[in-house]
Structure 1
Amino acid sequence: MASWRLLGLSISAAVILCSLAYLLLLSASTSGPIRQPPFYSSASSKHPHRHFQAPAENPWTELDEAEASQVYIWLHENTNIFNSTGARGSSPLNLIELLRPNKSSVVDYLDHNGPIPDRWARLSVVETKDDDAFIVEYMVGPLPPSNETQILPLTYCHNSGRNYVQSPISDVFALLEWALSIGEDASDVTLDLLGAKTNRHDPDDPNGLVMGSRPALIDSGRMVHWLEFFGPGMKSDGRSLLPQGLYVKLNLPSASPETWTTGEWFYNGILYDNVTMLRGAMASPGFERLTVNEDGAWTDTEDFTASTPERDMPPPVSIQPYGPRYRLDRSENYLSWMGFSFYFSTSQATALSLFDIRYNNSRIIYQLGLQEALAHYAGVEPMQSGLHFLDTFFGMGKMMFSLVPGLDCPGHAEYMDMSYHRGGKMYTNRNAICVFEYTSDAPLQRHTSAFSATVSRNTYLVVRSVSTVGNYDYTIDYIFYLDGSVEVKLRASGYIFGAFHAEPRSSTSFSFPPLPQRDSSANEYGYRVHPALHTSMHDHVVNFRADFDICGTANTVVRTSIEPLQRTYHWDRPEVPGLRNTMHMVHRPVTHETGLDWPKNSGEMYLITAPNDTNKWGETRAYRILPGTGMGNPARLTIVNSTALGASAPWSSSDLWILRNHPSTEPGSAHHLNALEPLSPLVDFAKMVADREVVEKEDLVVYFNLGGHHVPSSQDIPNTLMHTSASSVVFMPFNYFDEDVSKAVRQGVRVDRRPKKENIVVAAGGVGAELDGEAAKEEVRRSSNRAARSGPTEKSKEDDGVSWFGARYTTPVLVSEAMLSPDLSHYMKERDDGEQGGWKTVRNNVGGGLYGLFVGKEREGGRGHQRDGDDGGRLDW
Structure 2
Amino acid sequence: MIELRSRPWVLLSSLVALVVFVAFLIFPLDHEHSPVEYALEQPHSYKAPRQNVWAELTESEAADVNAFILKEFAHLDLKKHPKSARDNFIYIVETLKPNKTDAVSYLYDDGPSPPERWAKAAIAQNLEDGPYIIYYMVGPLPISKDSMILPLEYTFNSGRNYVPNPIQDFAAIQDFASAMAENVSDITQELLGATANRADPNDPHGLLAFPRGSRIETGGFTLWMQFYRPGMGSGARTLLPQGIYAKVDATSSDINDWSVGQFYYNGVVYEDAEEFRAALDDPDFERTPANLDGPWTDTEDFESHPAGRELPPPVSVQPYGPRYKLDRKERYVSWFGFEFYITTAQATGVSLFDIRFKGERVMYELGLQEAMAHYAGDDPMQGGLEFLDTFFGMGKNAFELVPGYDCPAYADYLDSEWHQAYQTHHTPNSICIFEYTADYLLSRHTAQYSVTVSRNTFLTVRSVSTVGNYDYTIDYIFYMDGTLEVKVRASGFIFGAFYTANNTKSEDEYGHRIHDALSSSMHDHVINFKADLDVAGPTNDMVRMAIEPMTSTYEWDQPEQPKRNTMHLVEYQVTEETGIDWPKNSGEFYLVYSSDKKNAWGERKGYRITSGTGMGSTPHLTIFNSTTLGDSARWAEHDLWVLQQKDTEPRSADPLNYFAPHDPIIDFTKMADHESLEHGAPDTSYDGDLVIYFNVGAHHVPHSGDVPNTLMHTSASSVMFVPHNFNDRDASRESVQGVRLQLQGKKSGGFAGEEADPNDDLKTRMGRRSKTLDKTKAKYFGATYDKGIKLPLEALEPNMEGYVSKEHGVTDLSYNGSAAGVWHREEAFGG
TM (norm. structure 2) is 0.90
Q: Which residue of 2 aligns with 1:88?
A: 84
- Partners of 1:557 and 1:318 lie apart in 2 by 40
Change (3 A) 1:237 1:450: same
- Partners of 2:735 and 2:313 lie apart in 1 by 30
- Letter aligned with residue 212 of structure 1: F
- Aligned pair 1:63/2:57, yes or no? yes
Q: Which residue of 1 aligns with 2:237?
A: 239
Q: How does 1:227-376 map to 2 (within 5 A)?
A: 227-232=225-230, 236-376=234-374
Q: How does 1:42-61 map to 2 (within 5 A)?
A: 42-43=12-13, 46=17, 47-49=40-42, 50-61=44-55
Q: State the 1:612 CA deviation.
A: 1.2
Q: Which residue of 2 aligns with 1:581?
A: 565
- Partners of 1:241 and 1:404 lie apart in 2 by 25
Q: Secondary structure at the match of 1:109?
A: helix
- Aligned pair 1:818/2:818, yes or no? no
Mark the runs of 5 or more structure 2 residues left unpaired by the alignment: 18-39, 680-686, 756-760, 764-768
Deviations 1:255-283 (CA, angstroms, capped at 9, x unpaired): 21232111211011111111111011112
- Aligned pair 1:657/2:615, yes or no? no
Q: Secondary structure at the match of 1:74?
A: helix
Q: Secondary structure at the match of 2:491?
A: strand
Change (3 A) 1:59 1:871: closer
Q: Which residue of 2 aligns with 1:106?
A: 103
Q: Which residue of 1 aligns with 2:539?
A: 554
Q: State the 1:220 CA deviation.
A: 8.0
Change (3 A) 1:57 1:857: closer
- Aligned pair 1:163/2:161, yes or no? yes
Q: Secondary structure at the match of 2:508?
A: helix
Q: State the 1:572 CA deviation.
A: 1.4
Q: Secondary structure at the match of 1:309?
A: coil
- Letter aligned with residue 43 of structure 1: S
- Aligned pair 1:79/2:76, yes or no? no
The answer to whether the Cα contact below 8 Å between 1:378 and 1:525 also exists between their aligned partners in 2 is yes
- Letter aligned with residue 805 of structure 1: F
- Aligned pair 1:870/2:828, yes or no? yes
Of residues 41-50 and 187-196 in structure 1, the stretch that sits farther from structure 2 once superposed is 41-50
Q: Which residue of 2 aligns with 1:539?
A: 524
Change (3 A) 1:819 1:868: farther
Q: How does 1:114-263 map to 2 (within 5 A)?
A: 114=111, 115-130=113-128, 132-202=130-200, 205-218=203-216, 222-232=220-230, 236-263=234-261
- Letter aligned with residue 659 of structure 1: L
- Partners of 1:739 and 1:54 lie apart in 2 by 28
The answer to whether the Cα contact below 8 Å between 2:170 and 2:815 also exists between their aligned partners in 1 is no
- Letter aligned with residue 41 of structure 2: P
Q: Which residue of 1 aligns with 2:37?
A: none
Change (3 A) 1:649 1:672: same
Which residue of 770, 775, 784 maps to 1:808? Answer: 784
Q: Secondary structure at the match of 2:672?
A: helix
- Partners of 2:95 and 2:545 lie apart in 1 by 40
Of residues 195-204 and 354-363 in structure 1, the stretch that sits farther from structure 2 once superposed is 195-204
- Letter aligned with residue 507 of structure 2: A
- Partners of 2:554 and 2:798 lie apart in 1 by 67
Q: State the 1:783 CA deviation.
A: 6.4
- Partners of 2:8 and 2:625 lie apart in 1 by 51
Change (3 A) 1:600 1:856: closer
The answer to whether the Cα contact below 8 Å between 2:434 and 2:459 also exists between their aligned partners in 1 is yes
Which residue of 690, 693, 712 maps to 2:702? Answer: 712
- Partners of 2:291 and 2:480 lie apart in 1 by 51
Change (3 A) 1:155 1:826: farther
- Partners of 1:280 and 1:852 lie apart in 2 by 39
Q: Secondary structure at the match of 2:444?
A: strand
Change (3 A) 1:572 1:755: closer
The answer to whether the Cα contact below 8 Å between 2:170 and 2:821 also exists between their aligned partners in 1 is no
- Partners of 2:233 and 2:302 lie apart in 1 by 19
- Aligned pair 1:572/2:545, yes or no? no
- Letter aligned with residue 590 of structure 2: Y
- Partners of 1:502 and 1:418 lie apart in 2 by 45
- Partners of 1:165 and 1:720 lie apart in 2 by 35
Q: State the 1:287 CA deviation.
A: 1.1
The answer to whether the Cα contact below 8 Å between 1:167 and 1:676 also exists between their aligned partners in 2 is yes
Change (3 A) 1:759 1:112: closer
Q: State the 1:88 CA deviation.
A: 1.4
Q: Which residue of 1 aligns with 2:723?
A: 733
Q: Which residue of 2 aligns with 1:454?
A: 452
Q: How does 1:753-764 map to 2 (within 5 A)?
A: 753-755=743-745, 759=749
Q: Secondary structure at the match of 1:441?
A: coil
Q: Which residue of 2 aligns with 1:682?
A: 665
Q: State the 1:694 CA deviation.
A: 2.4
Of residues 478-487 and 179-188 in structure 1, the stretch that sits farther from structure 2 once superposed is 179-188
Change (3 A) 1:266 1:341: same
Q: State the 1:580 CA deviation.
A: 0.6
Deviations 1:27-84 (CA, angstroms, capped at 9, x unpaired): xxx999x998342153258542120000111101110111011111112222136505
Deviations 1:116-138 (CA, angstroms, capped at 9, x unpaired): 11111111111112461101111
TM (norm. structure 1) is 0.85
Q: State the 1:181 CA deviation.
A: 0.7
Please give the root-mean-square deviation of Cα atoms over the aligned residues, in Å.
2.8
Q: State the 1:689 CA deviation.
A: 1.4
Q: Secondary structure at the match of 1:435?
A: strand
Q: Which residue of 1 aligns with 2:9?
A: 39
Change (3 A) 1:852 1:80: closer
The answer to whether the Cα contact below 8 Å between 2:78 and 2:90 also exists between their aligned partners in 1 is no
Change (3 A) 1:334 1:413: same
- Letter aligned with residue 701 of structure 1: V
Change (3 A) 1:167 1:274: same
Deviations 1:1-52 (CA, angstroms, capped at 9, x unpaired): xxxxxxxxxxxxxxxxxxxxxxxxxxxxx999x9983421532585421200
- Letter aligned with residue 100 of structure 2: K
Q: Secondary structure at the match of 2:41?
A: coil
The answer to whether the Cα contact below 8 Å between 2:231 and 2:293 also exists between their aligned partners in 1 is no
- Partners of 1:736 and 1:87 lie apart in 2 by 58
- Partners of 1:595 and 1:301 lie apart in 2 by 40
- Letter aligned with residue 649 of structure 1: A
Q: Secondary structure at the match of 1:180?
A: helix
- Aligned pair 1:563/2:548, yes or no? yes
- Letter aligned with residue 847 of structure 1: D
Change (3 A) 1:233 1:436: closer
**Percent of aligned positions that are identical:** 48
- Letter aligned with residue 689 of structure 1: A
- Aligned pair 1:628/2:621, yes or no? no
Q: Which residue of 1 aligns with 2:598?
A: 614
- Partners of 2:549 and 2:793 lie apart in 1 by 59
Change (3 A) 1:852 1:267: farther
Change (3 A) 1:595 1:232: closer
Q: Secondary structure at the match of 2:452?
A: strand
- Letter aligned with residue 492 of structure 2: G
Change (3 A) 1:856 1:55: closer
Of residues 330-339 and 745-754 in structure 1, the stretch that sits farther from structure 2 once superposed is 745-754
- Partners of 2:632 and 2:602 lie apart in 1 by 44
Q: Secondary structure at the match of 1:292?
A: coil
- Aligned pair 1:847/2:830, yes or no? no
- Partners of 2:387 and 2:175 lie apart in 1 by 24
The answer to whether the Cα contact below 8 Å between 2:90 and 2:421 also exists between their aligned partners in 1 is yes
Alignment coverage as a number of residue pairs? 782
